[in-house]
Amino acid sequence: MKRKNIRRLRHILHFMRWWREHTAWLRKALAWTGRKLRFLRFLGVLNPLRYIKVLDWYIIRKFIGTYIYSIALIISISIVFDVNENLAKFSQYHAPLKAIVFDYYANFVPYFANLFSPLFVFIAVIFFTSKLASNSEIISMLAAGVSFKRLMRPYMISCVLISTLSFFLSAYIIPHGNIVRQNFETMYKNKKKNTSAENVMLQVDRGVIAYIQHYDNNMKKGYGFSLDKFENKKLVSHMTASEAQYDTISDSKYHWTVRSWKIRELRGLKEHITSGAQRDTVIQMEPTDLVYSKGQQETFTNPELKEYISKQIDRGSGNVVQYQVEYHKRIASSFASFILTTIGLSLSSRKRKGGMGMYLGIGLALSFGYIMLQTVSSTFAINADTPPILAAWIPNIIFAFVAYFCYRKAPN
Tell me which of 83-87, 139-143, 357-361 is least confident: 357-361
Region 141-153: mean pLDDT is 83
pLDDT tens-digit series, residues 275-331: 888 888 888 888 877 777 777 888 889 998 988 888 777 766 666 888 888 899 999
pLDDT at 127 over 80: yes
Residue 321 and residue 301: Cα distance in Å, rounded? 16
Residue 65 and residue 71: Cα distance in Å, rounded? 10
**Is the distance from CB of 260 to CB of 241 less than 8 angstroms?**
yes
- Share the mean pLDDT of the chain: 81
- Of 8, 304, 337, 284, whose CA–CA distance to 159 is shortest? 337
- Which amino acid appears at position 322 of this protein? Q
Region 97-107: mean pLDDT is 90
DSSP for residue 254: T
Domain ranges, ordered by start, for the chain:
47-192+292-412, 196-291
Share of the chain above pLDDT 70, in %: 83
pLDDT at 5 over 60: no
Which H/E stretch holds residue 238?
strand 234-246
